[in-house]
């Protein structure tokens, strides 16, 4: 594939995520902060959009590379859209202390969600490329069976 075509695909992906970021910011503009459940709902929608765009625009990438790309895009999305994510049952004075951990927790969930969505999309025929298998070796999330 030529570099021009690859650049067009990357540009198309960027345009789509930029549109998604703007839509999320517009819908959240009145909120000074977002509760974890609302942030998680928005992230799930972003994950679905991002993995479909990656599958369409980067079919030559291996599953592990697609997941890394998706995680990076979603992480950037999070940084641009969510300024403060609140836990409803944590007192306000403690909120700033836990903010750095909120993203880490949500990104662990995003990794598992990517795997689940790719599997579901493949099983339902949305993704027909069998090369887009989930590579569990890239998932560094501790499993119950690892304990």
pLDDT in tens, 7-52: 344 444 454 777 777 777 776 666 656 777 888 888 998 999 999 8
Q: Is residue 124 part of a domain?
A: yes
Q: Is residue 47 part of a domain?
A: yes
Domain that holds residue 120: 3-139
Q: Is residue 78 part of a domain?
A: yes
Q: Contact 63/98 with Cβ under 8 angstroms?
A: no
pTM of the model: 0.68
Q: Is residue 147 part of a domain?
A: no
Q: Contact 47/70 with Cβ under 8 angstroms?
A: yes
Q: Is residue 32 part of a domain?
A: yes
Q: State the virtual CA torsion across 43, 45, 49, 55 in degrees, nearest 10.
A: 80
Q: Is residue 146 part of a domain?
A: no
What's the confidence (pLDDT) of residue 113?
93
Look at residues 46, 53, 47 and name the one whose alpha carbon lies nearest to residue 10. Answer: 53
What's the confidence (pLDDT) of residue 74?
93
Q: Using 50, 70 and 90 to split pLDDT, how confident is the model at 135?
A: low
What's the confidence (pLDDT) of residue 141?
52
Q: Is residue 145 part of a domain?
A: no
Q: Is residue 15 part of a domain?
A: yes
Total of domains in the chain: 1
Q: Contact 52/60 with Cβ under 8 angstroms?
A: no
pLDDT in tens, 40-59: 888 998 999 999 889 888 88
């Amino acid at each position: 594939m030529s570099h021009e075509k690859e650049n067009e695909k990357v540009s198309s992906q960027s345009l789509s995520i930029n549109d998604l970021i703007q839509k999320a910011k517009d819908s959240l503009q009145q909120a000074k902060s977002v509760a974890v459940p609302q942030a998680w709902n928005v992230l799930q929608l972003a994950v679905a959009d991002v993995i479909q765009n990656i599958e369409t625009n980067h079919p030559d990438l291996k599953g592990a590379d697609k997941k890394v790309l998706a995680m990076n895009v979603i992480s950037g999305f999070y940084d641009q859209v969510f300024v403060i994510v609140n836990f409803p049952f944590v007192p306000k004075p403690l909120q700033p202390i836990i903010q750095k951990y909120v993203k880490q927790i949500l990104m662990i969930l995003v990794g598992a969600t990517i795997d689940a969505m790719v599997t579901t999309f493949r099983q339902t025929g949305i993704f027909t490329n069998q090369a887009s298998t989930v590579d569990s070796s890239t998932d560094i999330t501790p499993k119950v069976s690892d304990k």
